[in-house]
Amino acid sequence: MEKLEYTFAAGQPAQGRSVTGVVASGDLEVLLEPGAAGTTTVAVQTSVDGYGGNWTALLERVLGPGTLPAARIEINDNGATPGVVRMRIEQAFEEVRS
Amino acid sequence: MMEQLQTTRGAMWLRLLTGSAPALHDWPAVRVCDAPLAGQPARWIAVVPDPDNRFPRARNGEVGLVEGWQLAQAVQETIALDRDAPLKRPIVAVIDVPSQAYGRREEAYGIHQALAGAAGAYAQARLAGHPVIGLVVGLAMSGAFLAHGYQANRLIALDDPGVMVHAMGKASAARVTLRTVEALEGLAERVPPMAYDIRNYASLGLLWKVLQAANPAQPDEQDLALVYAALEAALADIRDAPEHGLAGRLQGPHRAASRRVRALLETQWEAAD
Amino acid sequence: MSDIDKFLKRDSFIERNARSRAQALLDPGTFRELAGPFERLYSPWLAMQHLVTQADDGVVVAKGLLDGAPTVVLAIEGGFQGGSMGEIGGAKIAGSLELAARDNRRGTPTQAVILFETGGVRLQEANLGLAAIAEIQAAIVDLRRYRPVIGVSAGTVGCYGGMSIAAGLCSYLVLTREARLGLNGPQVIEQEAGVAEFDARNRALIWSLTGGEQRAATGLADACVDDDSAAIRATVTSLFARGVPERHRSERAAEFLAALAQADTNVQPEVADVRAVYTTTAKGEA
């Protein structure tokens, strides 16, 4: 099991919180809460070791642009593919918007 | 039918503690008898092996379909007996049960429902005001323990390597968790709730008392006196207690999370209603 | 509406996660989650073993109204650790049932629904899981005196282990065809008793004997319904309307013993054998 942490520039604080996904095999849970304006933090707990590079690349693609609301994000991952990870993160932000 | 020599701890302790009181039913695997405790009438129950059980997978002392429902009936009868009595008689579950019965017949005929009958009856007895005491003298494993003893107001166990409480036998647990038995045993050393021995179990705060019997497998007069004293003390403690639930099991340090969850639920229960 | 149309229009309960199932049951706008994921009640025991934890420990506690009546829904997430009961998830269920009983003693008729999607005790927490299940059973027996406690198992995990005993204590039990209800999982029986006794790969055998249809047909469940959220909600509502049963299924010891005395235990039972043994008396019909 591996823990990873990231920080990204972001916009205004997210307008709510959401929880999406389940820590099932091949899936992940994403908790999203408002962050301090301008900063998004991501704490990842993953059952698969050695994929730090992949996580960095994926989160960089999603959060790197800095246009999403500032959030405190926790990810509890049980071996999801990058596609599923991206889907759940986008879902997490969408749940807050709606 | 030839009388089988019963050598399990459960059978032996029941016989000794009740002074060989006669069984109230002719049930081979579920022994129910009346004998005094602290000078009051009390009902004593143990599950013992029935090598001639109609159900072939329940011949070694397992709690099977018939045993579960007979436990239920025995306890229901006790409740009915004292329905109009101001003081309800104690029920002592003498516990030495290796497991539930594992078999196709058992699943087909709903062994889960039979064990629910037993667990439910013990819980109803407790709620009706019967002091229910569980005395673990051997094994107290998973579904069998849930059915026979785990609903007790107070749990007492002997401190002995032959006394074990757990949710699943090692081989099955290893298979289900995709580990070796050795790996599981290693984990059990670091993670107290995973351990099989009674000392680790005691650290969880679920037992009211642990007794140092000199010879749990062949008790002498001193051992019996020790156990009687503990049972009598448990009886007095239960009679003194204001409520009939299992909250007494929530005090140990390893149950901090269980307390925190209940406190949080209570705080949030009424909010914003 | 043709069968195909019905199938396409159905709102699968099975495909919903635990939180979503609780939302589907409660009246719109009344769902309120307690001790939820943002409380971060992670299992200390899983963390100790370097296993990934879920923020709600696999149990959702949702208070709200069901057809206007105060109801707490305890939804087990079958996707996390097979829905197995650990200390925290177990405490969420037991603690909620305890509070519901307390409500009733104070004049509020709170009722409970338990969504059983569980293999039983979480073996990584073994004795604390088992103890929590005993506390859940105690709380069901307490609460069911006042208001029905209704169990639902929809699948795909089903209801096994110590939690099947809890299901057996419920006032009413609702299953789907996909759900299975049994004490010991097929793997465990095969491990303990050998493959001739129970072949864990024989899915037809498993579902025929322990699936929702058989359990309902033999009186060990009260309904076998389609995997449709509206149908499940309607069934649960109608069962609550029946009120607390005169005698719970778990109180029918004499009837079940009499029925079992009829079973031919010299052979392994077939579906029809169990149906023949469990006639109306065991089912509790007058």
B241-267 pLDDT, tens digit per residue, is 989 999 999 999 899 999 999 999 999
To the nearest whole Å, the CA of B239 is away from the closest chain C CA by 19
Average pLDDT over chain C, rounded to an integer: 95
* Structure tokens, C157: 């995990």
Contact C218 B105 (CB under 8 A): no
C132 pLDDT exceeds 80?
yes
Confidence of residue B6 (pLDDT cuts 50, 70, 90): low
Q: Is C2 on the interface with B (CB under 8 A)?
A: no
* Helices B256-269 and C87-105, packing angle to 10 deg: 40
Q: What is the per-residue pLDDT for B207?
A: 97
What distance in Å separates residue A75's CA from the closest CA in chain C?
Answer: 9
List of chain A residues whose C-beta atoms are within 8 Å of the C-beta of residue C55: 19, 29, 31, 74, 76
What pLDDT, on a 0 to 100 scale, did the predictor assign at position C8?
78
Say how far apart CA C280 and CA B257 lie, in whole Å: 45
pLDDT of residue B2: 41
The confidence score (pLDDT) of residue C7 equals: 76
| A26 C-beta neighbours (distance < 10 Å), count | 11
Q: Which of C45, C54, C60, C84 to mutate to test binding with chain A, by most A CBs within 10 Å of its CB?
A: C54
CATH of the domain at B101: 3.90.226.10
Both structure tokens of C84: 């197995």
Could you tell me if residue B272 is inside a domain?
no
- In terms of phi and psi (left: phi > 0; alpha: psi -120 to 50; beta: otherwise), the region of C210 is alpha
B161 HSE (CA, 13 A, CB side): 0
The 8-class DSSP code of residue C250 comes to G
Per-residue pLDDT at C282: 52
CA distance C255 to C277: 11
Model confidence at C187, pLDDT cuts 50, 70, 90, reads confident
Domain boundaries, chain C: 3-250, 252-286
How many CB atoms lie under 10 A from the CB of residue B2?
4
Nearest to C181 by CA among C153, C223, C144: C153
**Looking at CA atoms only, how far is residue C242 from chain A in angstroms?**
35
What CATH number matches the domain at C3-250, 2.60.120.1440, 3.40.50.1820, 2.102.10.10, 3.90.226.10?
A: 3.90.226.10
Domain residues for B21?
A: 9-245
**3-state secondary structure string across chain A:** CEEEEEEEECCCECCCCEEEECCCCCCEEEEEEECCCCEEEEEEEECCCCCHHHHHHHHHHHHCCCCCCEEEEEEEECCCCHHHHHHHHHHHHHHHHC
- Tokens 């642990």 sit at which residue? B210
Tell me the C-alpha distance between C13 and C15, whole Å. Answer: 5
pTM: 0.97
Q: Which two tokens stand for residue C111?
A: 């009722």
Alpha helical stretches, state H, B204-248: 221-240
Query: Looking at the domain assignment, is residue B183 inside a domain?
Result: yes
Mean pLDDT in residue range C82-94: 98
Buried b (16+ CB within 10 A) or exposed e, B97-117: bbbbbbbbbbbbbbbbbbbbb
Task: For residue A82, give both structure tokens.
Answer: 């990058």
Indicate yes or no: CB of A22 within 8 angstroms of CB of C52. Answer: no
Which site among C103, C175, C183 would you substitute to test the B interface, given the most B Cβ atoms closer than 10 Å to its Cβ?
A: C183
Distance from the Cα of B190 to chain C's closest Cα (Å) equals: 9
Q: H helices of B89-141, where? A: 104-108, 111-128
| C99 residue type, one letter | L
**Residue A94 confidence (pLDDT):** 96
Tokens of C29: 């706008």
The greatest distance separating any two alpha carbons of chain A, rounded to the nearest whole angstrom, comes to 35
Q: What is the pLDDT of residues B16-65, one digit of tens each?
A: 999 999 999 999 999 999 999 999 999 999 999 999 999 999 999 999 99
Min Cα distance C47 → chain A (Å) is 10
When computed from its CA atoms, the radius of gyration of chain A, rounded to whole angstroms, is 12
Residue type, C35: A
Nearest to B105 among C121, C168, C265 (CB): C265
Q: In this complex, how many residue pairs, one in chain B and one in chain C, have their CB atoms less than 8 Å apart?
A: 264
Q: B100 at the C interface (CB within 8 A)?
A: yes
Residues of C in contact with B119 (CB under 8 A): 134, 137, 141, 165, 169, 250
Tell whether the model's pLDDT for residue C6 goes beyond 80.
no
> What SS3 state is found at C154?
coil
Q: What is the pLDDT of residues B178-197, one digit of tens each?
A: 889 999 999 999 999 999 99
Average pLDDT over residues C140-160: 98
Residue C286: pLDDT band (50, 70, 90) is: very low
Where residue C10 falls among pLDDT bands split at 50, 70, 90?
Answer: confident
CA distance B254 to chain C (A): 9
Exposed / middle / buried, residue A33 (Cβ in 10 Å: 0-12, 13-18, 19+): middle
The CA distance from B63 to B148, in Å, is 9
Summary mean pLDDT of chain A: 96
Contact B204/C at CB under 8 A = yes
Number of domains in chain B: 1
Chain C residues whose CB is inside 8 A of the A33 CB are: 38
For residues B81 and B153, give the distance between their C-alpha atoms in angstroms, rounded to a whole number. Answer: 20
Chain C CB contacts of B115 under 8 Å are 165, 168, 183
pLDDT digits (tens, 9 = 90+) for C203-231: 999 999 999 999 999 999 999 999 999 99
Q: Which of C99, C128, C133 sits opposite B146 (nearest CB)?
A: C133
- Whether B257 maps to a domain, the answer reads no
- The reply to whether residue A23 touches residue C19, judged by beta carbons under 8 angstroms, is no
What are the tokens at C12?
């699968």
Q: Does some domain include residue B258?
A: no
Residue B263 lies in a domain: no
Q: Give the whole-angstrom CA distance, residue A14 versus residue A40.
A: 10
Q: Is the CB of residue C61 less than 8 Å away from at least one CB of chain B?
A: yes
pLDDT of residue B191: 95
Q: What's the mean pLDDT in C232-236?
A: 98
Q: In this complex, which of B113, B191, B264 lies closest to C48 when CB atoms are compared?
A: B191
Q: Which residue of B has its CA nearest to C100?
A: B269
